[in-house]
C-alpha cells in the first residue's frame, strides 16, 4: 500500500565532513561552502517532509577522506598534493561509506537518522 511505501522511503544526500567544518586548507574553502549548502538543504527537506507527515526520511552521509580519484582530479596539475592528501593515514573505502548507507537502511521506519558523519580515526578534520 502507499502508506507502507512512504514509511519505507529514504532520500540520501552524499555530502562531506567539510559540510560541517571549514578546514585550514585554502584549496577547499569554496568546496566546503557547497557542502554546507547540501547539509542545510537536506535538513530543510527533512523538516518539510516531517511537517507534511509524509514519513519519508532524509539522511545526509558525510564522509571524510575516501580513497577515490577525487584528490587526483582536484590536483591534476600537481599530483604530489593528492599523494600528500591520501598518504597521511588509512582512508575510508567506498565499502565503509556503503556500510553507513546499510546502517540507515536497517533502521526501523519510525527512526530518523538525519546525518552520519564518518571519517578515518586518524583524520584531523
Is 71:82 a contact under the CB 8 Å cutoff?
yes
Closest CA to 99 of 70, 125, 66, 57: 66
- Residues pairing with 10 in the sheet: 57
Is 43:62 a contact under the CB 8 Å cutoff?
no
The set of catalytic residues is 31
- Diameter of the chain measured on Cα atoms: 55
Q: Rounded CA gap, 112 and 58, in Å?
A: 8
Amino acid at each position: 500500500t502507499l502508506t507502507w511505501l512512504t514509511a519505507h522511503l529514504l532520500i540520501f544526500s552524499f555530502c562531506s565532513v567539510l559540510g560541517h567544518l571549514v578546514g585550514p586548507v585554502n584549496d577547499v574553502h569554496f568546496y566546503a561552502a557547497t557542502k554546507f549548502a547540501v547539509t542545510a538543504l537536506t535538513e530543510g527537506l527533512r523538516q518539510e517532509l516531517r511537517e507534511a507527515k509524509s514519513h519519508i526520511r532524509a539522511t545526509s552521509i558525510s564522509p571524510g577522506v575516501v580513497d577515490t580519484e577525487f584528490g587526483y582530479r582536484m590536483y591534476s596539475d600537481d599530483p604530489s598534493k593528492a599523494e600528500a592528501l591520501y598518504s597521511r593515514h588509512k582512508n575510508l573505502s567506498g565499502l565503509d561509506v556503503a556500510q553507513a548507507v546499510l546502517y540507515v537502511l536497517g533502521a526501523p521506519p519510525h527512526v530518523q537518522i538525519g546525518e552520519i558523519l564518518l571519517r578515518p580515526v586518524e583524520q584531523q578534520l
